[in-house]
Structure 1
Amino acid sequence: MFGLARLALFGFVVLTIVYFCLSWYSRAARRDKLEAEWDREDMTGDREAFVDEGLREYDGSLRRKLIWGVYIIPVSAVIALIYFMNFH
């Protein structure tokens, strides 16, 4: 029982680190794309406002929600593995 609790705690810590790194990387990549779009199309006005608006749209996007798969997929796999190893 303590082994399972230790696995769950260690797994949660590792998955949280992976989640934050992936989230940070994805947001930085989106920011770079928005800045490149601004430069490529020679837009006028406030560049930061354009980038901030694009990042607000990104925050509600499907891609942002799919990053939660970092928690869902490994936990589901471990649960399925434990179930099939013990009950089948």
Structure 2
Amino acid sequence: MIAFARFFIIAFIVLTVTYIILSIRGRAAARDRLEQEWDEEVQAGDRDAYIEEGLRAYDGSLRRKLILGVYVVPAVVIGTILYVVNHM
């Protein structure tokens, strides 16, 4: 049981670091895309306001929520492996 707790803690730390990195990179990519879109197409109004509005839309988007799969997918895989090994 101690080994499982140790594995769980280490896995949680690694997944949290991965989640933070993916979140930062995703937000940076969205910002870059919005900046490029404004430079190429919009060029009217306040650039910073346009980018902030786009980032608010990104925060509520499905793409942002899919990053949470970093926690879900490994848990499902590990749970499936444990079930198959112990019950089949």
CA distance in 2, matches of 1:75, 1:42: 43
Spell out the pairing of 1:11-30 with structure 2 (5 A cutoff).
11-30=11-30
Report the AA paired with residue 48 of structure 2: E
The Cα of 1:42 is off from its aligned counterpart by: 4.8
**Could you state the TM-score of these two structures normalised by the residue count of structure 1?**
0.96
The Cα of 1:31 is off from its aligned counterpart by: 0.2
**Could you state the TM-score of these two structures normalised by the residue count of structure 2?**
0.96
Report the AA paired with residue 5 of structure 2: A
Q: In the alignment, is residue 52 of structure 1 matched against residue 67 of structure 2?
A: no
The 4+ residue runs of structure 1 with deviation greater than 6 A are none
Aligned length: 88
Q: In the alignment, is residue 73 of structure 1 matched against residue 73 of structure 2?
A: yes
Report the AA paired with residue 56 of structure 1: R
Distance 1:57 1:42, change over 3 A: closer
Report the AA paired with residue 64 of structure 2: R
CA distance in 2, matches of 1:53, 1:80: 41
The Cα of 1:83 is off from its aligned counterpart by: 1.1
SS in 2 for 1:41: helix
- In structure 1, stretches of 5+ residues that fail to align are none
Distance 1:87 1:42, change over 3 A: closer
RMSD (CA atoms): 0.8
The Cα of 1:4 is off from its aligned counterpart by: 0.5
Q: List per-residue Cα deviations over 1:16-42 (Å, max 9, x = no partner).
A: 000000011000000000000010015
